[in-house]
A = this chain, B = another copy of it.
Amino acid sequence: MSTRAGIVVTGTEVLTGRVTDRNGPWLAEQLRLVGIDIAEIVVVGDRPDDLTAALQHLTAAGLELIITSGGLGPTADDLTARVVGEFQRRPLALDAALEQRIAAIVERLQRGRGWTVDPEAQAAGTRKQSLVPAGATVLEPVGTAPGLVVPAPDRTDGPPVVVLPGPPRELQGMWPAALAAPAVTAIVAQAEELRQRTLRLWGTMESELAAMMRAQGDALDDLEITTCLRDGELEIVTRYAPGEQDAYERFAAAVAEAFPRTLFSPDGASIDEIVARLLRERGLTIATAESCTAGLLAGRLTELAGSSDYVLGGLVVYSNLAKHDLAGVPLELIDRVGAVSEEVAVALAEGARSRLHSDLGVGITGIAGPGGGSTEKPVGLVHFCVSDGVRQRPARWVIPGGRSEVRARAVLLALHLVRRLLEEDSDEASAQAGA
């Protein structure tokens, strides 16, 4: 049985969907790295009874560790430290030295920003943040709020509760100190390493993969394999104990044998990382001319640091006049075949290349919806072209879903088209080597 942890995310804004929780997923991955499996994430609002009930539930589930995020601010509705202290039956007491350290931080922040805050309210807030449950380890503030590691009540073997702030930057900055707290170190010491590897396929159906896995019989019994179809990429994530490394290698080899054309990432690299690596390896530059995606492909190509080595820029050609003025698409061509057409996609790719003086050009033109569709050219129709000046690779897709799905999927499809063009060279090289 693996070592398991539960996470409690507090905050009405997360519960009601106005803010997406980033702490649960981040903590899940950090825990995995130290061999702790995540059993459950519970999201509750800023209500003390709900938080207590969640702590009871996770304790009753037999988990070895509980982590909370949020509710550590200076105001009265920030109640996590108090509730956790009561739950672990450890009375709060003022830590005067901590109070001074927090006061110094707050003062420094205010000087920097030129704020003025009611000094009495501020002192009350600082005092509230300096109340520490008996026997708890204080985690020094990264913002202004300290974290806590609160052990189980005396003479019981319940899980310790790690209390972390809500802002992701503060939570992440405090994590090393949380891992170093004695109550946490003791649990990590018992945990066994848990490895995780990812394979990504492009163009294989989930049902085909399921059939291939069934054919493996009980060879996969000791691997925890989850498959997930995301925007057309089929992702296979496998977790296993170190002793199962050989079993994993055999499985990965079987996937590579069954799906040689579609396994584009045998090492878990994302399509973004692969495109960046291929461009760098070949010393090539790239530029875009986008209509329906309107800059999102250029934005994505520049997400990775250092992308200025190979991204020169792009054209956002939303209007037909912009397609002509910026990318040099003849207006006569647009009149004749329509802005959403293979011909215009090709002209956009070439326009991007020539205007930006890049090696590769990518053109995208489509109907993102919800309006503008017809029987012949429905909403979701997108024409693409990737060109390196010698090879022009046009492609056409009808993407299901709403406006944002069509635009997001079109960006991903364009990245795969770039990858395929760049990999043609390797394919030819291997074909020649094999001949």
Contacts and interface: CB of A to CB of B under 8 A. Distances in A.
4 A-B pairs with the lowest CB-CB distances in the bound complex, closest first: A17-B25, A295-B295, A295-B298, A313-B322
Contact of A228 (B18, B44, B117): B18
Contacts of A293: 299
Contacts of A16: 25, 28-29, 32, 38, 237
B50 A18 contact: no
A83 to B, nearest CB: 15
Contacts of A369: 305
Contact of A313 (B42, B207, B319): B319
A397 to B, nearest CB: 14
Contacts of A307: 318
Interface in A358-396: 369-371
A325 B54 CA distance: 59
Interface in A226-255: 226, 228, 230, 235, 237
Interface residue SS majority, chain A: mixed
A287 to B, nearest CB: 8
Which one of A12, A43, A46, A356 has the greatest number of beta carbons of chain B within 10 Å? A43
Contact of A237 (B18, B42, B61): B18
Nearest to A62: B53
Contacts of A224: 12
B306 A313 contact: no
A380 to B, nearest CB: 13
Contacts of A319: 308, 312-313, 356
Given A43-B40, A235-B18, A299 B302 contact: no
14 contacts: A13-B237, A15-B38, A16-B29, A16-B32, A18-B235, A18-B237, A53-B60, A117-B207, A294-B313, A295-B302, A296-B299, A298-B316, A303-B404, A326-B355
Interface of A: 12-13, 15-20, 24-26, 28-29, 32, 38-46, 50, 53-54, 57, 60-61, 75, 115, 117-118, 121, 169, 205, 207, 210-211, 214, 224, 226, 228, 230, 235, 237, 288, 290, 293-299, 301-303, 305-308, 311-319, 321-322, 325-326, 355-357, 369-371, 401, 403-404, 407
Given A16-B29, A207-B117, A226-B46, A169 B401 contact: yes
A348 to B, nearest CB: 12
B305 A294 contact: no
Nearest to A237: B18
Nearest to A311: B318
A370 B210 contact: no
A321 to B, nearest CB: 7
A172 to B, nearest CB: 11
Given A315-B315, A319-B312, A54 B25 contact: no
